[in-house]
Amino acid sequence: MVEYDKDAIVYPYITSYIRGEIPERHGILKELEEYAEANSVPIVQPETAKFLETMMCIKRPARILEVGCAIGYSAILMSQYLADGGSITTLEWDAQTAEIARANIEKAGLSDKIKVVLGDAKDIIPTLTGEYDVIFLDGPKAHYIYMLNDCIRLLKKGGMLISDNILYKGMIADDEHVIRRKITIVKRLRRFISAQMQRDELETVILPLGDGVTVAVKK
Ligand SMILES: C[S@@+](CC[C@H](N)C(=O)[O-])C[C@H]1O[C@@H](n2cnc3c(N)ncnc32)[C@H](O)[C@@H]1O
């Protein structure tokens, strides 16, 4: 019989297969995966991590903005494919978590490339200037909708807005899956997805990968 997990957006046996094909990591990324597992830190799922790496490998970005740094795992992962002289700005509002991220980034020898900015992304994003090749949203899901205009403003033409957990354990796709206390997040994520799909400036795809990912390219 096929396994069914109401929190998974694809059949668990498919996820198991995909994860089984992902080579084991080494060094700092492996250490951070183990730390995240032991300390219940939410980092990108393995298949989403692979997707991010593949996108970065295509894009070779010079400037990346990340919303939601946690312990620095996805920032370190993406930094592998930065263009020469490229940089990542990653936002984190929890001071202790930001300190752990900075220590990890320093240990990885990446302090010159990855800058962790402490603060609420909702306040920081409107103050940012310049153009980014990639913006990765992996922070406050209920606020993505309010960040969309600034993300479009900050993206270079051809730049990518990648957003994680967009299908939110399937709740986005079907009211029967929605947990009552998550209603606000679900409603706002649905608005965020629709807005991305409908904005003339963007070409957007919804992918049933990990917990759901959208990729919106600025035309
Ligand atoms: C899913 S984790 C990020 C995981 C990370 N991108 C990775 O894969 O390694 C989300 C992070 O966003 C942070 N966060 C939540 N709301 C935020 C906000 N409004 N501003 C900045 N950071 C926020 C949380 O403290 C948490 O560390």
Return d(Cα 182, Cα 159) in angstroms, integer: 31
24 in a structural domain: yes
In a domain, 177, yes or no: yes
The pair of three-digit structure tokens given for residue 74, joined into one six-digit string: 């996805």
Q: Judge whether 11 and 4 are in contact, CB under 8 Å.
A: yes
The answer, yes or no, to whether any atom of ligand 1 lies below 6 A from the CB of 52, is no
pLDDT for 122 equals 97
In the reported structure, the alpha carbon of residue 130 is separated from the centroid of ligand 1 by a whole-number distance in angstroms of 22
Is 199 contained in some domain? yes
**Whole-number Cα distances in Å, 210 to 10, 68, 141, 165, 206:** 8, 17, 15, 8, 12
| Matching residue, tokens 């920081």 | 124
CATH number of the domain that 108 lies in? 3.40.50.150
Half-sphere exposure of 65 (CA within 13 A, CB side): 25
Residue 5 in domain:
no
Identify which of 92, 137, 209 to mutate to test ligand 1's pocket (most ligand atoms within 8 A of the CB): 92
Q: Is 120 in the pocket of ligand 1 (CB under 6 A)?
A: yes
pLDDT of residue 13: 92
Average pLDDT per consecutive 10 residues, the chain (219 residues; last block may be shorter): 72 93 96 98 97 98 98 98 98 98 98 98 97 98 97 98 95 89 96 98 97 98
Q: How many domains does the chain have?
A: 1
Q: What is the largest CA-CA distance in the chain?
A: 53
Q: Is residue 185 part of a domain?
A: yes
Please indicate, yes or no, if residue 158 is contained in any of the structural domains: yes
Distance CA 86, CA 59 (A): 12
Dist CA 41 CA 70 (whole Å): 7
pLDDT of residue 15: 92
Q: Domain range for residue 26?
A: 12-218
For ligand 1, whether the C-beta of 64 sits within 6 Å is: no
Pocket test for ligand 1, best of 32, 73, 138 (most atoms within 8 A of CB): 138
Answer yes or no: is 194 within a domain. Answer: yes
Structural domain includes residue 50: yes
Cβ atoms of 206 and 166 within 8 Å: the answer is yes
Q: How far apart are CA 185 and CA 136, in angstroms?
A: 18
